[in-house]
Amino acid sequence: MRKPLSASITLIILLLLFLAFNLVWALKLPNIRLDFSEQKVHTLSAPVQTLLASLERPVDLYFFNSSKHPKKTRTLESYGKRVTLLLKEYEKAAKGKINLHFIDPTPFSEDEYKARLLGLDDQQGFFGLVGTSMGHGPHSIESFSPDRESLLEYEISHLIHKVIHPEQPVIGLISGLPLEGEWDERNGMSTSPWQLGKEIRRQFNLVSLQPGITQIPEHIKTLMVVHPGRLPDQTLYAIDQFVLGAGKLLMFIDPLAGLVTSAAPPENAGQNALLAAWGIQMPANKIIADHDYATSVIMTSGQPPVRHPAALTLPRQAMAQDDISTWKLRSVNVLSSGGLTPVKKSRMTFTPLLQSSGRAALFDAERFALPAQFDVLIEEAATRGQPQVIAARVEGPAYSAFPDGLDGREAHVQKSAYIHVVVVADTDLISDRVAGMLQNVSTTGGAASDNAMFVLNTLDNLAAPDGLMDVRPRAGGGRTLQVLKAMREDAAQAYREKSAERVQRLEQTEKEWQLLNPKTLSPGPQSVTPSALLQALNKERLRVPMEIHALKVQSYAEVHALERKIKLLNILPIPLILCVIAWGVFLARRSRRHLPSTAFY
């Protein structure tokens, strides 16, 4: 009787001690988390920690996350947990300089009103971040997206930086084209600035510099140069010294700077020398023709659109997936663009930002003069095709393009251990002409162009302090998910191609059925018509969806098989490990229970 009683008392005491430990001591233990991810995506990077350590005043972050929205998917719910954990890491690393607030706005509540007032996106429930600081207006991330997971750390850090430093960065502009308008002597009036120029002025403190300038002012740390082929050598020399002196540069070059012209602008030795010094080159008088991305444009007023091989609409897959310049972009339009290539044996890091499809090629500019040749160029591009780089980010060590100086002046800076330049082989990307062409053919249903956002993203990134620029994208999905994503895209493409004819047939059959069998509003049961034609149409409209579904199952079979394997790999290991441990404990106890009698002598 005493043994069961003593055992019960012992269990009660152990249970009380366990509860006391959890209520008192567990709260005092340090919160230790181990990050075993490949790129340490759950740990703040060193540049972010440096940025947080430099915070001069407290920042309030309000994370709006609707938990019960009907359109919220499981993917967004899972990503919400990821964002929550990362925000807690920010709060912890800031050591009191960040006050984190979690808000779950319910319908028709005050929190929902505030979220809408701050401009947060609620298409799939509120899922955004608002940052404020004393004496400064709020800044916000309208919505987080799993597609931008690699840029999540940059998004949050960028918001914090904007809250602390709301002043507009200074951008210098040297343009060989009328980006900010020009005086028209024929009409005796000034032309209006390009739309992009207006957007840049809204976002930045834009300082216009004369094309003949001989030295970039010291207070300008970021420079935008448009069409340097028209600039004098003294200005190109100033740009060279600016870049070697740690200045950041966004430069737009173009073999033509127009849609159709019979002669290319004269070759500029100074511009080519700059490109060569930065480890890149662009073939002269060569334009990209692309079979897949060619877009219809109106060549002559009143005429139907023509598919132009050099007018390209670049989709998301034609952009760098993990670069700040292509942040939130869907499509970019270019016109008569050249192709960039890295110089052989260059030590520069060459990162493509925008590129053509795999069925594109470079052709002589003269071949684009006649619209009758467009179809031939498009088919020839598909035959000779390979990806062509339209925009690239270039980083690394460089020497001066003017080692002997200019006009008797020695080069002040001969070399640099690190330069940072973004080169775009198209000036029409920033012009109003491209936007006007797209508006004229908007009936095709194409996506709106994000040209302006590409330029603004790049300038904002180049103008950011070194601490923010050093926050590099980090992929969090792993290789398996990247393979799965590629397989889904291939399956979707195969499904579209296989089902296109059946979908069209189904739509036609449905129209004929509705025409011959209109709905009646008479009450009571409806009679089934014995018409042979209607019966055939009805069978067709019911059978074709089954065929389309079968094609979808067939196209996605490999994807679903891989998804099942991934689920099994995620679910089975832990139970198997626990079973092995339990079996081992069972065997150990069993061996002790049946020790041989010789063990006691």
pLDDT at 458 over 70: yes
pLDDT at 3: 56
Region of poorest pLDDT, from 118-122, 137-141, 187-191: 187-191
Average pLDDT of span 193-204: 90
pLDDT at 9: 74
Residue that wins the pLDDT comparison between 185 and 541: 541
pLDDT at 67: 86
pLDDT at 260 over 50: no
pLDDT at 134: 85
Give the H/E segment covering residue 111: helix 110-117
pLDDT at 115 over 50: yes
pLDDT at 485 over 50: yes
What percent of the chain is predicted at pLDDT more than 70? 83
Q: Give the integer Cα–Cα distance in Å for 79 and 69.
A: 15
pLDDT at 445: 42
Residue that wins the pLDDT comparison between 6 and 43: 43
Question: 3-state class of 405 per DSSP?
Answer: coil
The answer to whether 288 and 390 are in contact (CB under 8 A) is: yes
pLDDT at 597: 56
Computed over every residue of the chain, the mean pLDDT equals: 82
Record the tokens describing residue 146, joined without a space: 């799993």
First to last CA, the chain: 31
Rounded to the nearest angstrom, the gap between the alpha carbon of residue 201 and the centroid of all alpha carbons in its chain is 24
Region of poorest pLDDT, from 42-46, 244-248, 287-291: 42-46
pTM higher than 0.85 for the full model? no
The answer to whether 378 and 287 are in contact (CB under 8 A) is: no
Region of poorest pLDDT, from 89-103, 174-188, 508-522, 546-560: 508-522
pLDDT at 360: 94
What percent of the chain is predicted at pLDDT more than 90? 37
Question: 3-state class of 131 per DSSP?
Answer: strand
259 band by pLDDT with thresholds 50, 70 and 90: very low
Residue that wins the pLDDT comparison between 16 and 316: 316
Among candidates 451, 427, 439, 54, which has minimal Cα distance to 265? 427
184 band by pLDDT with thresholds 50, 70 and 90: low
Region of poorest pLDDT, from 25-34, 113-122, 159-168: 25-34
pLDDT at 40 over 70: no
Q: Residue type at 180? A: E
Q: Give the integer Cα–Cα distance in Å for 332 and 447.
A: 9
Average pLDDT of span 494-523: 75
Q: Give the integer Cα–Cα distance in Å for 141 and 434.
A: 29
pLDDT at 436: 59
Burial of 470 (0-12, 13-18, 19+ CB in 10 A): middle
447 band by pLDDT with thresholds 50, 70 and 90: very low
Domains of the chain with CATH codes: 46-164 (3.40.30.10), 170-180+192-476 (no CATH)
Average pLDDT of span 92-114: 91
Average pLDDT of span 557-564: 84
Question: How many C-beta atoms lie closer than 10 Å to residue 388's C-beta?
Answer: 27
Average pLDDT of span 158-178: 91
Average pLDDT of span 76-91: 92
Q: Residue type at 98? A: I
439 band by pLDDT with thresholds 50, 70 and 90: low
pLDDT at 261: 38
pLDDT at 288 over 80: yes
pLDDT at 209 over 50: yes
pLDDT at 100: 94
Average pLDDT of span 2-25: 67
pLDDT at 333 over 80: yes
pLDDT tens-digit map of 363-381:
999 999 888 889 899 999 9
Average pLDDT of span 36-62: 81
The answer to whether 223 and 306 are in contact (CB under 8 A) is: no
251 band by pLDDT with thresholds 50, 70 and 90: very high
Question: 3-state class of 313 per DSSP?
Answer: strand
297-303 own/partner pairs: CB under 8 Å, 24+ apart: 297/259, 297/437, 297/438, 297/440, 297/441, 298/437, 298/440, 298/441, 299/260, 299/371
478 band by pLDDT with thresholds 50, 70 and 90: very low
Average pLDDT of span 320-326: 89
pLDDT at 185 over 90: no
pLDDT at 255: 80
Average pLDDT of span 391-406: 91
